[in-house]
Structure 1
Amino acid sequence: MAGTAPGAITVALVDDYDVVVVGVATMLEPYRDRVVVAELDTNEPVKDVVDIALYDSFAQPESDHHEVKTLIDNPHARRVVMYTANFHPDLVAMAQDLGVDGYLSKALNARELVEALESVHAGERVISTPPSKTFANSGDWPGRSEGLTHRESEILALITQGKSNAEVVALTYLKPNTVKSYIRGLYRKIDVESRTQAVLWGVRHGFLPDHRRIDHWRGGP
Protein backbone atom coordinates (compact mmCIF):
# COMPACT_ATOMS: atom_id res chain seq x y z
CA MET A 1 0.00 0.00 0.00
CA ALA A 2 2.55 2.48 -1.20
CA GLY A 3 1.73 6.12 -0.72
CA THR A 4 -0.22 5.64 2.50
CA ALA A 5 -0.07 8.74 4.68
CA PRO A 6 2.03 8.26 7.83
CA GLY A 7 -0.25 7.29 10.68
CA ALA A 8 -3.29 6.80 8.47
CA ILE A 9 -5.60 3.86 9.18
CA THR A 10 -5.78 1.32 6.36
CA VAL A 11 -9.31 0.08 5.69
CA ALA A 12 -10.41 -2.74 3.38
CA LEU A 13 -13.97 -2.40 2.10
CA VAL A 14 -15.85 -5.70 1.86
CA ASP A 15 -18.99 -5.78 -0.28
CA ASP A 16 -19.79 -7.60 -3.51
CA TYR A 17 -21.03 -4.49 -5.33
CA ASP A 18 -18.46 -2.17 -6.89
CA VAL A 19 -20.78 0.85 -6.72
CA VAL A 20 -21.14 0.37 -2.96
CA VAL A 21 -17.39 0.03 -2.42
CA VAL A 22 -16.67 3.06 -4.59
CA GLY A 23 -19.34 5.04 -2.75
CA VAL A 24 -17.77 4.40 0.64
CA ALA A 25 -14.28 5.08 -0.73
CA THR A 26 -15.52 8.40 -2.11
CA MET A 27 -16.92 9.32 1.30
CA LEU A 28 -13.55 8.64 2.90
CA GLU A 29 -11.41 10.32 0.24
CA PRO A 30 -11.45 13.83 1.82
CA TYR A 31 -9.96 12.25 4.96
CA ARG A 32 -7.17 10.43 3.15
CA ASP A 33 -4.62 11.76 5.64
CA ARG A 34 -6.47 9.81 8.35
CA VAL A 35 -8.08 6.83 6.58
CA VAL A 36 -6.82 5.15 3.42
CA VAL A 37 -8.82 2.55 1.53
CA ALA A 38 -6.73 -0.52 0.76
CA GLU A 39 -7.39 -1.56 -2.82
CA LEU A 40 -7.87 -5.30 -3.15
CA ASP A 41 -6.86 -7.01 -6.39
CA THR A 42 -9.92 -9.03 -7.36
CA ASN A 43 -7.71 -11.77 -8.83
CA GLU A 44 -5.42 -12.27 -5.85
CA PRO A 45 -5.88 -13.41 -2.25
CA VAL A 46 -5.40 -10.83 0.48
CA LYS A 47 -1.72 -10.38 1.32
CA ASP A 48 -1.46 -7.02 3.06
CA VAL A 49 -2.51 -6.61 6.67
CA VAL A 50 -5.12 -3.89 7.09
CA ASP A 51 -6.07 -2.07 10.27
CA ILE A 52 -9.82 -2.51 9.71
CA ALA A 53 -11.98 -4.67 7.47
CA LEU A 54 -15.19 -2.70 6.98
CA TYR A 55 -18.02 -5.08 6.08
CA ASP A 56 -20.74 -3.18 4.25
CA SER A 57 -24.01 -5.06 4.77
CA PHE A 58 -25.66 -4.04 1.48
CA ALA A 59 -27.25 -7.21 0.04
CA GLN A 60 -24.80 -9.31 2.08
CA PRO A 61 -25.70 -12.29 4.31
CA GLU A 62 -25.41 -10.22 7.46
CA SER A 63 -27.92 -12.26 9.43
CA ASP A 64 -26.01 -15.56 9.40
CA HIS A 65 -22.67 -13.85 10.08
CA HIS A 66 -20.57 -16.58 8.43
CA GLU A 67 -18.83 -13.98 6.30
CA VAL A 68 -18.21 -11.71 9.28
CA LYS A 69 -16.64 -14.65 11.14
CA THR A 70 -14.39 -15.23 8.11
CA LEU A 71 -13.07 -11.69 8.49
CA ILE A 72 -12.65 -12.00 12.25
CA ASP A 73 -10.68 -15.23 11.82
CA ASN A 74 -8.38 -13.80 9.14
CA PRO A 75 -5.10 -12.42 10.54
CA HIS A 76 -4.89 -9.93 7.67
CA ALA A 77 -7.61 -7.86 9.36
CA ARG A 78 -6.57 -6.45 12.72
CA ARG A 79 -10.13 -5.34 13.47
CA VAL A 80 -13.54 -5.96 11.90
CA VAL A 81 -16.37 -3.43 11.70
CA MET A 82 -19.94 -3.82 10.46
CA TYR A 83 -21.28 -0.91 8.40
CA THR A 84 -25.04 -1.20 8.20
CA ALA A 85 -28.47 0.37 8.21
CA ASN A 86 -30.00 -2.56 10.06
CA PHE A 87 -30.06 -2.22 13.83
CA HIS A 88 -32.38 -5.08 14.69
CA PRO A 89 -31.41 -5.99 18.29
CA ASP A 90 -30.74 -9.62 17.37
CA LEU A 91 -28.32 -8.60 14.63
CA VAL A 92 -26.46 -6.22 16.92
CA ALA A 93 -26.27 -8.86 19.65
CA MET A 94 -25.02 -11.56 17.26
CA ALA A 95 -22.35 -9.25 15.89
CA GLN A 96 -21.16 -8.40 19.39
CA ASP A 97 -21.13 -12.08 20.35
CA LEU A 98 -18.97 -12.82 17.32
CA GLY A 99 -16.50 -10.21 18.48
CA VAL A 100 -16.79 -7.39 15.97
CA ASP A 101 -14.94 -4.26 16.97
CA GLY A 102 -17.59 -1.90 15.69
CA TYR A 103 -21.20 -1.79 14.50
CA LEU A 104 -21.48 1.48 12.63
CA SER A 105 -24.55 3.15 11.18
CA LYS A 106 -24.86 4.25 7.58
CA ALA A 107 -26.55 7.35 8.93
CA LEU A 108 -23.11 8.60 10.00
CA ASN A 109 -21.70 11.33 7.81
CA ALA A 110 -18.13 11.00 6.50
CA ARG A 111 -16.54 12.86 9.41
CA GLU A 112 -18.45 10.80 11.96
CA LEU A 113 -17.52 7.58 10.17
CA VAL A 114 -13.84 8.49 10.17
CA GLU A 115 -13.97 9.37 13.86
CA ALA A 116 -15.66 6.05 14.65
CA LEU A 117 -13.04 4.13 12.69
CA GLU A 118 -10.29 5.96 14.54
CA SER A 119 -11.89 5.03 17.86
CA VAL A 120 -12.05 1.38 16.79
CA HIS A 121 -8.41 1.54 15.71
CA ALA A 122 -7.54 2.94 19.14
CA GLY A 123 -9.02 -0.14 20.79
CA GLU A 124 -12.58 0.93 21.56
CA ARG A 125 -15.61 -1.15 20.66
CA VAL A 126 -17.96 1.31 18.97
CA ILE A 127 -21.67 0.59 18.58
CA SER A 128 -23.59 3.36 16.86
CA THR A 129 -26.90 4.63 18.14
CA PRO A 130 -29.69 3.11 16.03
CA PRO A 131 -30.36 5.59 13.22
CA SER A 132 -33.39 7.83 13.47
CA LYS A 133 -32.68 9.62 10.20
CA THR A 134 -32.23 8.71 6.57
CA PHE A 135 -28.81 8.60 4.97
CA ALA A 136 -29.42 9.86 1.46
CA ASN A 137 -25.98 11.46 1.33
CA SER A 138 -24.00 8.49 2.67
CA GLY A 139 -22.27 6.26 0.17
CA ASP A 140 -23.88 4.90 -2.95
CA TRP A 141 -25.87 1.90 -4.05
CA PRO A 142 -27.32 0.36 -7.22
CA GLY A 143 -30.49 2.14 -8.33
CA ARG A 144 -29.87 5.32 -6.38
CA SER A 145 -29.84 7.39 -9.57
CA GLU A 146 -33.21 5.86 -10.47
CA GLY A 147 -34.71 7.06 -7.19
CA LEU A 148 -34.59 3.83 -5.21
CA THR A 149 -33.90 4.12 -1.50
CA HIS A 150 -31.10 2.13 0.07
CA ARG A 151 -33.56 -0.41 1.49
CA GLU A 152 -35.53 -0.72 -1.77
CA SER A 153 -32.28 -1.26 -3.65
CA GLU A 154 -31.10 -3.87 -1.17
CA ILE A 155 -34.33 -5.83 -1.50
CA LEU A 156 -34.22 -5.59 -5.29
CA ALA A 157 -30.62 -6.84 -5.21
CA LEU A 158 -31.67 -9.83 -3.13
CA ILE A 159 -34.60 -10.53 -5.48
CA THR A 160 -32.28 -10.25 -8.48
CA GLN A 161 -30.01 -12.81 -6.82
CA GLY A 162 -33.01 -15.18 -6.79
CA LYS A 163 -34.05 -14.83 -3.15
CA SER A 164 -37.67 -15.55 -2.26
CA ASN A 165 -39.69 -13.20 -0.07
CA ALA A 166 -39.15 -15.57 2.86
CA GLU A 167 -35.39 -15.48 2.30
CA VAL A 168 -35.43 -11.68 2.06
CA VAL A 169 -37.30 -11.57 5.37
CA ALA A 170 -34.72 -13.86 6.98
CA LEU A 171 -31.78 -11.87 5.64
CA THR A 172 -33.10 -8.39 6.43
CA TYR A 173 -35.02 -9.10 9.67
CA LEU A 174 -37.95 -7.18 8.25
CA LYS A 175 -41.53 -8.30 8.66
CA PRO A 176 -43.12 -10.11 5.67
CA ASN A 177 -45.66 -7.34 5.08
CA THR A 178 -42.89 -4.74 5.24
CA VAL A 179 -40.92 -6.59 2.58
CA LYS A 180 -44.04 -6.79 0.40
CA SER A 181 -44.58 -3.05 0.85
CA TYR A 182 -41.01 -2.29 -0.22
CA ILE A 183 -41.41 -4.54 -3.24
CA ARG A 184 -44.61 -2.78 -4.32
CA GLY A 185 -42.88 0.57 -3.94
CA LEU A 186 -39.83 -0.36 -5.95
CA TYR A 187 -42.04 -1.88 -8.67
CA ARG A 188 -43.70 1.50 -9.08
CA LYS A 189 -40.39 3.33 -9.23
CA ILE A 190 -38.85 1.09 -11.90
CA ASP A 191 -42.17 0.73 -13.75
CA VAL A 192 -42.54 -3.05 -13.69
CA GLU A 193 -45.51 -5.23 -12.83
CA SER A 194 -44.01 -8.61 -11.96
CA ARG A 195 -41.10 -10.22 -10.18
CA THR A 196 -39.72 -11.51 -13.47
CA GLN A 197 -39.71 -8.00 -14.90
CA ALA A 198 -38.07 -6.68 -11.72
CA VAL A 199 -35.31 -9.29 -11.94
CA LEU A 200 -34.66 -8.47 -15.59
CA TRP A 201 -34.53 -4.78 -14.72
CA GLY A 202 -32.14 -5.56 -11.89
CA VAL A 203 -29.84 -7.58 -14.13
CA ARG A 204 -29.71 -4.72 -16.66
CA HIS A 205 -29.04 -2.08 -13.98
CA GLY A 206 -26.22 -3.59 -11.94
CA PHE A 207 -28.08 -5.48 -9.22
CA LEU A 208 -26.07 -8.67 -9.56
CA PRO A 209 -22.87 -8.83 -7.50
CA ASP A 210 -19.68 -7.80 -9.30
CA HIS A 211 -17.34 -9.91 -7.19
CA ARG A 212 -17.24 -12.28 -4.25
CA ARG A 213 -14.84 -10.20 -2.20
CA ILE A 214 -15.16 -12.45 0.85
CA ASP A 215 -13.40 -15.18 -1.14
CA HIS A 216 -10.16 -13.23 -0.83
CA TRP A 217 -10.41 -13.48 2.92
CA ARG A 218 -10.89 -17.23 2.63
CA GLY A 219 -7.67 -17.45 0.66
CA GLY A 220 -9.36 -18.07 -2.68
CA PRO A 221 -9.20 -16.28 -6.03
Structure 2
Amino acid sequence: MSVTDVFDAVAGTYDEARRRLVPCFDAFYGAAVEVAVPPLRAALAAGRTPDVLDLGAGTGLLSLLLSAAVPGARLTLVDGAPSMLAVAAGHLAARGVSHHTVHADLADPLPEGRYDAVVSALAIHHLDDDGKRGLYRRAADALAPGGVFVNAEQVAGPTPALERRYDEVWMARIAELGSDAEEIAASRGRMRYDRPATVADQCRWLGEAGLVDVDCFFKEWRFAVFGGRRPPE
Protein backbone atom coordinates (compact mmCIF):
# COMPACT_ATOMS: atom_id res chain seq x y z
CA MET A 1 0.00 0.00 0.00
CA SER A 2 1.34 3.44 -0.92
CA VAL A 3 1.38 6.47 1.34
CA THR A 4 -1.39 8.07 -0.74
CA ASP A 5 -3.54 4.94 -0.31
CA VAL A 6 -3.00 5.07 3.45
CA PHE A 7 -4.17 8.67 3.73
CA ASP A 8 -6.95 8.27 1.19
CA ALA A 9 -8.42 5.53 3.38
CA VAL A 10 -8.71 7.83 6.43
CA ALA A 11 -9.84 11.02 4.66
CA GLY A 12 -13.24 11.09 6.33
CA THR A 13 -11.88 10.88 9.88
CA TYR A 14 -8.43 12.42 9.50
CA ASP A 15 -9.22 15.80 11.05
CA GLU A 16 -10.83 14.40 14.18
CA ALA A 17 -7.49 13.57 15.83
CA ARG A 18 -5.37 16.50 14.60
CA ARG A 19 -5.40 18.48 17.85
CA ARG A 20 -4.42 15.40 19.83
CA LEU A 21 -1.72 14.09 17.49
CA VAL A 22 -0.25 17.56 16.91
CA PRO A 23 -0.10 18.75 20.53
CA CYS A 24 1.12 22.23 19.56
CA PHE A 25 -1.58 22.53 16.86
CA ASP A 26 -2.50 26.21 17.32
CA ALA A 27 1.05 27.53 17.63
CA PHE A 28 2.29 25.27 14.84
CA TYR A 29 -0.32 26.19 12.24
CA GLY A 30 -0.47 29.76 13.52
CA ALA A 31 3.23 30.27 12.86
CA ALA A 32 2.85 28.95 9.31
CA VAL A 33 0.05 31.41 8.66
CA GLU A 34 2.06 34.31 10.09
CA VAL A 35 4.97 33.53 7.76
CA ALA A 36 2.75 33.20 4.68
CA VAL A 37 0.44 36.18 5.18
CA PRO A 38 2.63 39.26 4.44
CA PRO A 39 3.05 38.74 0.66
CA LEU A 40 -0.62 37.82 0.36
CA ARG A 41 -1.69 41.06 1.97
CA ALA A 42 0.84 42.94 -0.15
CA ALA A 43 -0.78 41.49 -3.28
CA LEU A 44 -4.21 42.64 -2.10
CA ALA A 45 -2.82 46.11 -1.38
CA ALA A 46 -1.44 46.21 -4.92
CA GLY A 47 -4.90 45.48 -6.29
CA ARG A 48 -4.45 41.87 -7.37
CA THR A 49 -5.63 38.48 -6.15
CA PRO A 50 -3.04 36.66 -4.02
CA ASP A 51 -2.25 33.14 -5.22
CA VAL A 52 -1.36 30.30 -2.84
CA LEU A 53 -0.09 26.83 -3.73
CA ASP A 54 -0.64 24.23 -0.99
CA LEU A 55 1.53 21.12 -1.46
CA GLY A 56 0.27 17.89 0.04
CA ALA A 57 -2.80 19.82 1.09
CA GLY A 58 -4.67 16.86 2.54
CA THR A 59 -8.04 17.91 3.96
CA GLY A 60 -7.16 21.58 3.51
CA LEU A 61 -6.42 22.55 7.11
CA LEU A 62 -3.69 25.03 6.24
CA SER A 63 -5.55 26.39 3.23
CA LEU A 64 -8.61 27.03 5.39
CA LEU A 65 -6.56 28.94 7.93
CA LEU A 66 -4.90 31.04 5.22
CA SER A 67 -8.21 31.83 3.56
CA ALA A 68 -9.57 33.02 6.90
CA ALA A 69 -6.50 35.19 7.52
CA VAL A 70 -6.53 36.68 4.00
CA PRO A 71 -10.06 36.66 2.56
CA GLY A 72 -9.87 36.89 -1.21
CA ALA A 73 -6.83 34.65 -1.63
CA ARG A 74 -7.02 32.11 -4.45
CA LEU A 75 -5.85 28.63 -3.50
CA THR A 76 -4.47 25.73 -5.53
CA LEU A 77 -4.32 22.49 -3.55
CA VAL A 78 -2.13 19.57 -4.66
CA ASP A 79 -2.38 16.08 -3.17
CA GLY A 80 -1.99 12.50 -4.30
CA ALA A 81 -5.01 11.27 -2.32
CA PRO A 82 -8.26 12.10 -4.14
CA SER A 83 -10.47 11.51 -1.10
CA MET A 84 -8.43 13.96 0.95
CA LEU A 85 -8.75 16.55 -1.82
CA ALA A 86 -12.50 15.98 -1.95
CA VAL A 87 -12.78 16.72 1.78
CA ALA A 88 -10.66 19.86 1.33
CA ALA A 89 -12.76 21.04 -1.61
CA GLY A 90 -15.93 20.56 0.39
CA HIS A 91 -14.62 22.62 3.29
CA LEU A 92 -13.44 25.45 1.03
CA ALA A 93 -16.59 25.48 -1.08
CA ALA A 94 -18.73 25.66 2.06
CA ARG A 95 -16.86 28.84 3.01
CA GLY A 96 -17.02 30.37 -0.47
CA VAL A 97 -13.23 30.23 -0.94
CA SER A 98 -11.88 30.39 -4.50
CA HIS A 99 -9.89 27.20 -5.02
CA HIS A 100 -8.66 24.62 -7.49
CA THR A 101 -7.58 21.06 -6.67
CA VAL A 102 -4.89 19.09 -8.49
CA HIS A 103 -4.53 15.34 -8.04
CA ALA A 104 -0.77 14.86 -8.29
CA ASP A 105 2.19 13.43 -6.45
CA LEU A 106 4.70 15.77 -4.82
CA ALA A 107 7.35 14.35 -7.16
CA ASP A 108 5.36 15.58 -10.18
CA PRO A 109 5.82 18.99 -11.85
CA LEU A 110 4.00 21.73 -9.97
CA PRO A 111 0.96 23.50 -11.43
CA GLU A 112 1.96 26.35 -13.70
CA GLY A 113 1.83 29.85 -12.32
CA ARG A 114 3.59 32.28 -10.03
CA TYR A 115 2.48 32.11 -6.43
CA ASP A 116 2.73 34.65 -3.65
CA ALA A 117 3.03 31.79 -1.18
CA VAL A 118 3.87 28.12 -1.56
CA VAL A 119 2.95 26.29 1.62
CA SER A 120 2.88 22.76 2.97
CA ALA A 121 1.92 21.06 6.22
CA LEU A 122 2.90 17.58 7.37
CA ALA A 123 3.42 16.21 3.87
CA ILE A 124 6.94 16.70 2.52
CA HIS A 125 8.43 14.35 5.14
CA HIS A 126 7.03 11.47 3.09
CA LEU A 127 9.64 12.17 0.39
CA ASP A 128 13.22 10.94 0.61
CA ASP A 129 15.92 13.58 0.94
CA ASP A 130 16.57 13.84 -2.81
CA GLY A 131 12.83 14.22 -3.31
CA LYS A 132 12.69 17.00 -0.72
CA ARG A 133 15.56 18.88 -2.35
CA GLY A 134 13.96 18.58 -5.78
CA LEU A 135 10.61 19.79 -4.49
CA TYR A 136 12.23 22.75 -2.72
CA ARG A 137 13.85 23.81 -5.99
CA ARG A 138 10.54 23.56 -7.86
CA ALA A 139 8.74 25.44 -5.07
CA ALA A 140 11.31 28.25 -5.16
CA ASP A 141 10.93 28.50 -8.94
CA ALA A 142 7.13 28.69 -8.59
CA LEU A 143 7.25 31.73 -6.30
CA ALA A 144 6.60 35.24 -7.52
CA PRO A 145 9.39 37.71 -6.65
CA GLY A 146 9.09 38.44 -2.94
CA GLY A 147 6.89 35.37 -2.40
CA VAL A 148 7.42 33.00 0.50
CA PHE A 149 7.74 29.27 0.95
CA VAL A 150 6.70 27.88 4.33
CA ASN A 151 6.72 24.29 5.50
CA ALA A 152 4.97 23.26 8.73
CA GLU A 153 6.59 19.92 9.17
CA GLN A 154 7.45 16.90 11.24
CA VAL A 155 11.23 16.82 11.49
CA ALA A 156 13.96 14.42 12.57
CA GLY A 157 16.07 14.87 15.66
CA PRO A 158 19.66 15.87 14.86
CA THR A 159 21.00 12.94 16.93
CA PRO A 160 19.61 9.47 17.73
CA ALA A 161 19.26 10.47 21.39
CA LEU A 162 17.19 13.53 20.49
CA GLU A 163 15.09 11.53 18.05
CA ARG A 164 14.21 9.15 20.88
CA ARG A 165 13.43 12.09 23.14
CA TYR A 166 11.18 13.67 20.50
CA ASP A 167 9.19 10.46 20.41
CA GLU A 168 8.99 10.15 24.20
CA VAL A 169 7.66 13.68 24.54
CA TRP A 170 5.17 13.18 21.71
CA MET A 171 3.83 9.98 23.26
CA ALA A 172 3.41 11.62 26.67
CA ARG A 173 1.69 14.68 25.21
CA ILE A 174 -0.80 12.84 23.02
CA ALA A 175 -1.72 10.53 25.89
CA GLU A 176 -2.39 13.59 28.06
CA LEU A 177 -4.63 14.97 25.31
CA GLY A 178 -6.69 11.80 25.15
CA SER A 179 -5.26 9.64 22.37
CA ASP A 180 -6.16 6.03 23.09
CA ALA A 181 -4.28 2.87 22.10
CA GLU A 182 -6.22 2.46 18.85
CA GLU A 183 -5.55 6.03 17.72
CA ILE A 184 -1.86 5.77 18.62
CA ALA A 185 -1.53 2.46 16.76
CA ALA A 186 -3.16 3.95 13.66
CA SER A 187 -0.83 6.94 13.82
CA ARG A 188 2.19 4.66 14.24
CA GLY A 189 1.04 2.74 11.17
CA ARG A 190 1.03 5.90 9.07
CA MET A 191 4.40 6.92 10.50
CA ARG A 192 5.99 3.87 8.86
CA TYR A 193 5.88 5.95 5.68
CA ASP A 194 7.68 8.93 7.26
CA ARG A 195 11.15 9.97 6.09
CA PRO A 196 11.78 13.15 8.10
CA ALA A 197 14.93 15.25 7.84
CA THR A 198 16.43 17.69 10.31
CA VAL A 199 15.59 21.38 10.33
CA ALA A 200 19.22 22.27 9.68
CA ASP A 201 19.44 20.13 6.55
CA GLN A 202 16.16 21.42 5.17
CA CYS A 203 16.99 25.06 5.77
CA ARG A 204 20.28 24.49 3.96
CA TRP A 205 18.43 22.95 1.01
CA LEU A 206 16.10 25.96 0.86
CA GLY A 207 19.11 28.28 0.67
CA GLU A 208 20.61 26.11 -2.07
CA ALA A 209 17.30 26.42 -3.95
CA GLY A 210 17.80 30.20 -4.07
CA LEU A 211 15.63 31.38 -1.19
CA VAL A 212 16.77 34.11 1.19
CA ASP A 213 15.88 34.97 4.77
CA VAL A 214 15.67 31.23 5.44
CA ASP A 215 14.88 30.45 9.05
CA CYS A 216 13.09 28.14 11.45
CA PHE A 217 10.24 30.28 12.75
CA PHE A 218 8.75 27.80 15.23
CA LYS A 219 9.86 24.53 16.75
CA GLU A 220 8.42 22.32 19.47
CA TRP A 221 10.24 19.01 19.54
CA ARG A 222 9.38 17.18 16.29
CA PHE A 223 7.10 19.91 14.94
CA ALA A 224 8.76 22.82 13.15
CA VAL A 225 7.85 25.66 10.81
CA PHE A 226 10.57 26.87 8.48
CA GLY A 227 10.88 28.58 5.13
CA GLY A 228 12.31 31.41 3.12
CA ARG A 229 11.60 34.11 0.57
CA ARG A 230 12.29 34.51 -3.14
CA PRO A 231 14.30 37.70 -3.63
CA PRO A 232 12.47 40.57 -5.30
CA GLU A 233 13.55 41.25 -8.87
TM-score, L = length of structure 2 = 0.35
Higher helix share: 2
Higher strand share: 2
